[in-house]
Structure 1
């Protein structure tokens, strides 16, 4: 805001056209910009002092003016909790048991809609269903939990009105097409989609999986970007028993051959 005061001649009331100098007792509350503007920086109180040193020392006719002070009080700004897209209603969610922890798509904004950058706090009505870990929510079990979102404010912002939404956690479906966006996966019993039992020949040298099958039927093409991270084929030792066989004594610590 423009400070607008001016220096006038005490004899005739005319503008002296001398520059006024401003200072603030607390630049964290009100700062001086471009010499003549007061800029609000944060909540609190500051005293603004206007002074004019005169021009006698440069051959002028004006002595220094008596300084004038003005107290300025700045209240805290309001904030509100909205979705990342700016919606005022927080939508309810559905998650599968075992889904990865996730941060809710919410934020705090000021009266102009600008992000305040303040950290939101979450609480769960049932941590056996949804647990809170910092800014992340983690599905823990089947059921429904109410999530309350709050922001307590700081030196510049009042506390936001808390908002809540529910998360329903369901059992994860055993079917591969129940995961949204999944277009390819490895069938552990038929890695190359040939409908036959697996053998070492179905794997590349070094035991890496050589063929990935598109089981969705959508003709997706596999891409193997990290061969070192592919599943490996290994054979473990074991004993086969039929109905007439049995084992006495302690179990062996290892098998070979």
Structure 2
């Protein structure tokens, strides 16, 4: 009996081109040999889904920062002031990178253009970053991902589904009187669901001060935060002892996750449906 692995690569690739993405994935999972050789075909197929079919992953990040104050009661409870909010809208761009052994797909994250349908490829790091105040403050970051299809003909949203969500609580840890700041040397991961992770980095004060763009971003946050507190909270004391910047860099998904998202029931993009589901107007 002949085996497919004994065929010339050109014939094997021709056969695989006749299969669906799901069938190619099933073949690639048979063993490491198929996984390695079929990863190239799988990568090209994902590229086609993005470029020709318009499937994209949208990321909506909402950060809420509160001042923590101790209220003089019997149990000295902590009280949070009304939040200062920041929103960051990002869109994925397939990097063309696929791990030949795990078949994990890699996407880069970029800010969204004014129409909310395309990425701003030539953008700076600060445009996909948020500032987090760490000392005596609490920052909650809510991340929601949408898997959407945008028509490549008329640039209109055709289908959309919520594809994952995660929450990150950022709070500075202390050891005695010494503050422990986050390190930018390690990549952190927010797990959005099975087979779906977002990679981000934390930059501490030293990194911020050595980077002009980061320093400007931190300064702008200071001004906006202080103005918000004066207007809504009525406080004028300053909480600028420690600042950190979080940058959302990449996302990694399994090919099974990608295929399942395309198979899920979708929501047609009429305005009443989108508004009723609470989708961000920045995207849609």
TM-score by length of structure 1 reads 0.25
More strand by share: 2
- Of structures 1 and 2, the one with the larger relative CO (CA 8 A, separation 6+) is 2
More helix by share: 2
Task: Please tell me whether Structure 1 or Structure 2 has the larger radius of gyration of its CA atoms.
Answer: 1
